[in-house]
Structure 1
Amino acid sequence: MKHLKRILDLRPEEAEGLIRRGLELKKRLRAGVPHRPLLGKILALIFEKPSTRTRVSFEAAMMKLGGQTIFLSSRDLQLARGEPLKDTARVLSRYVDGIVVRTFGQEVVEELAAYAEVPVINGLSDRFHPCQVLSDLMTVVETGRKLGDLVVAWVGDGNNMANSWIEAAALFGFELRLACPEGYDPDPEVLEEARSRGARIALLRDPVEAVRGAEVVNTDVWASMGQEAEAEERRRVFQPYQVNSRLLRHAAPEAIVLHCLPAHRGEEITEEVLEGPQSVVWDQSENKMWLHAAVLEKLLA
């Protein structure tokens, strides 16, 4: 494991190890036991998209492990003036010990990783969001569930989160049911690759069918960054895909609800569900930091 560009960069034992280590670091550092394996290390954060949780969780994780960060928005870099990405990758490799990139095209992540001499971590692209889904899985494990035995429902847009959940299903072997409106399916190449690896994945139109008996119910915003012009049409199309108390009645009685945030209450999820007893979204949000700490320790220490 040199880079983390997508979940299928990992072997199952590597992914399980990151989740286990995230839980260990959470317990240790919350207890106040010092652990500073990244003392003297520097992490560059290249963000072309705005962020709250991803930026702060990576920065906090790095600092908790003794390291430091340099935040670089796209306007801070010579990329804005036409410098080739491969040049930026090679130059930054002489200054820092790792790079997190949050960008639009997955090709940016791939090119940085191809030319960088230090680890590159995908903090989000339009195609994948690997660290988020790994931290979501960490949250599921933290509740005492075994990943291989799960039935997971994804309700809503077949976006980068859905793609990474598909890859996770291929890696861990849980059953995944995706309920997406027609025309808003996940990436067909991602789906085909996962199924070729034996993944148990059903692509459905009916959210009730997807949620029936599921132990994990997962959703995301209807319009992601860069899709603002489509927001009104998406609200119309996705209205039947709202995660609300009526839909949850079809899930397993002890089902948990995930949302990677930010949430648009009253759109993809209701206030009642988000703030309800089945919601684990605040633990999920915190666990980004601990999973990121595990990734940084693994790649940079």
Structure 2
Amino acid sequence: MNAGAVRHLISTHDLSDAELTALVERGAEFSAGSLSKGDQLSGLVAGIYFLKTSTRTRTSFSTAALRLGAQILSFGPDDLQTNTGETLEDTGEVLSRMLDLLVVRTSGDPADLRALARQRRMAVVNAMTADEHPTQAVADLVTLLRQFGRIEGLSVCYVGEGNNSAAALALTLSRFKGVRLELRTPPGYGLDPAVLRHAVDNASRSEATVTEVHSMDGATGGFDAIYTTRWQTTGTSKPDPHWRDVFAPFQVTSALWDKSPNAVFLHDLPAHRGDDVTAEVLDGPHSLAFDQAGNKMYAAMAVLEWCAGRR
């Protein structure tokens, strides 16, 4: 790629409001089957570098690249010379002379991705870091847009840990006019305060509202979507041996639909039936969880196309 065409997606902060909206709309167009696909990334090579396990994200980016005409090269956690002391900056410089895009998953610091992105030839995409999962948020918003035909004005209840998926959801939904996002997070496991402040700041500019409560008591209703994630975030562990007792009241059950009878259910998966959500909800008529997983491929197509400067 030409140096001027390189665009990284390491955080949602890398996207303007217009760029975020365009990515979501593009992903929805791919999802609806209204766009031809097969040559948008023709002639490009995408590296898929995953240091942590993945089913949906790795498969979605691999298939997205292939469906848009790129070739892929996959690396596992033991494949690169970073294991023998080569710096990430040097690794990025080398890979950028052979690859056009690099999709990276790590449960570590996003600064690692910034190091890989210091070169000027290869686009770097965050497929999950400890603090944020930006491409998951794009898929979430694609799912909402496909379901409701809009994101503006939607009411969403997020239940569970304030993890990287929750952070990305809060940082993106809060940019859309009139959105109401209510986060119900266990005490001690809420959003990072800096992330919450940023989401609230976004909301103040977009006439949206973002609130966080560390209890399920007094839960409100009228939601368009109810969202949860796995209690044990991928690649992490909890030091408190009694953490399940803290999380137990935050299980998503059918009772939440008493006040939101028309809400759809979202989950970034993997789900553990009987922990974060009951089987009745996950496998029930309100659930879009598996369509949401499918939309990760369409979101990845939009992201790769944008990062490659091919749109």
Q: TM-score range by the shorter chain?
A: over 0.9
Matched, 1:59 2:87: no
Whether contact under 8 Å (1:211, 1:248) holds in the other structure is no
Greater mean deviation of Cα atoms: 224-233 or 59-68 = 224-233
Alignment partner, residue 295 of structure 1 = 303
How much has 1:116 moved relative to structure 2? 5.2
Alignment partner, residue 2 of structure 1 = 7
How much has 1:109 moved relative to structure 2? 1.9
Alignment partner, residue 191 of structure 1 = 196
Q: Deviations over 1:145-201 (max 9, x none)?
A: 421201111101011011111201332242211111111111111111222332521
Say which structure is richer in helix: 1
Matched, 1:257 2:260: no
Alignment partner, residue 110 of structure 2 = 106
Q: Deviations over 1:23-75 (max 9, x none)?
A: 2223347x9x5531111111111111111111111010111001111111121
Q: Give me the whole-angstrom Cα distance separating, in 1, the residues matched to 2:192 and 2:186.
A: 14
Alignment partner, residue 76 of structure 1 = 79
Alignment partner, residue 18 of structure 1 = 23
Whether contact under 8 Å (2:12, 2:168) holds in the other structure is yes
Secondary structure of residue in 2 paired with 1:148: coil
Q: Give me the whole-angstrom Cα distance separating, in 1, the residues matched to 2:220 and 2:14.
A: 29
Q: Give me the whole-angstrom Cα distance separating, in 1, the residues matched to 2:229 and 2:158.
A: 9
Q: Give me the whole-angstrom Cα distance separating, in 1, the residues matched to 2:32 and 2:232.
A: 35
In the alignment, structure 2 segments of 5+ residues that lack a partner are 1-5
Q: Which amino acid aligns with 1:100?
A: V
Q: 1:282 to 1:225 in 2, by over 3 A?
A: closer
Whether contact under 8 Å (2:28, 2:143) holds in the other structure is no
Q: Which amino acid aligns with 2:8?
A: H
How much has 1:132 moved relative to structure 2? 0.6
Alignment partner, residue 293 of structure 2 = 285
Matched, 1:121 2:117: no
Q: Which amino acid aligns with 1:288?
A: K
Whether contact under 8 Å (1:208, 1:247) holds in the other structure is no
Q: 1:208 to 1:284 in 2, by over 3 A?
A: farther
Alignment partner, residue 227 of structure 1 = 236
1:131-280 mapped onto 2 (5 Å cutoff): 131-173=135-177, 174-197=179-202, 198=204, 200-207=209-216, 209-210=218-219, 212-228=221-237, 230=239, 233-250=242-259, 252-280=260-288
Q: Which amino acid aligns with 1:175?
A: R
Secondary structure of residue in 1 paired with 2:118: helix
Q: Which amino acid aligns with 2:247?
A: F
Whether contact under 8 Å (2:174, 2:199) holds in the other structure is yes
TM-score when scaled to structure 1? 0.93
In the alignment, structure 1 segments of 5+ residues that lack a partner are none
Whether contact under 8 Å (2:52, 2:235) holds in the other structure is no
Alignment partner, residue 93 of structure 1 = 96
Whether contact under 8 Å (2:24, 2:141) holds in the other structure is yes
Greater mean deviation of Cα atoms: 54-63 or 195-204 = 195-204
Q: 1:164 to 1:209 in 2, by over 3 A?
A: farther
Whether contact under 8 Å (2:28, 2:145) holds in the other structure is no
How much has 1:249 moved relative to structure 2? 1.8
Whether contact under 8 Å (1:169, 1:201) holds in the other structure is no
Q: Give me the whole-angstrom Cα distance separating, in 2, the residues matched to 1:288 and 1:188.
A: 28
Q: Give me the whole-angstrom Cα distance separating, in 1, the residues matched to 2:240 and 2:75.
A: 29
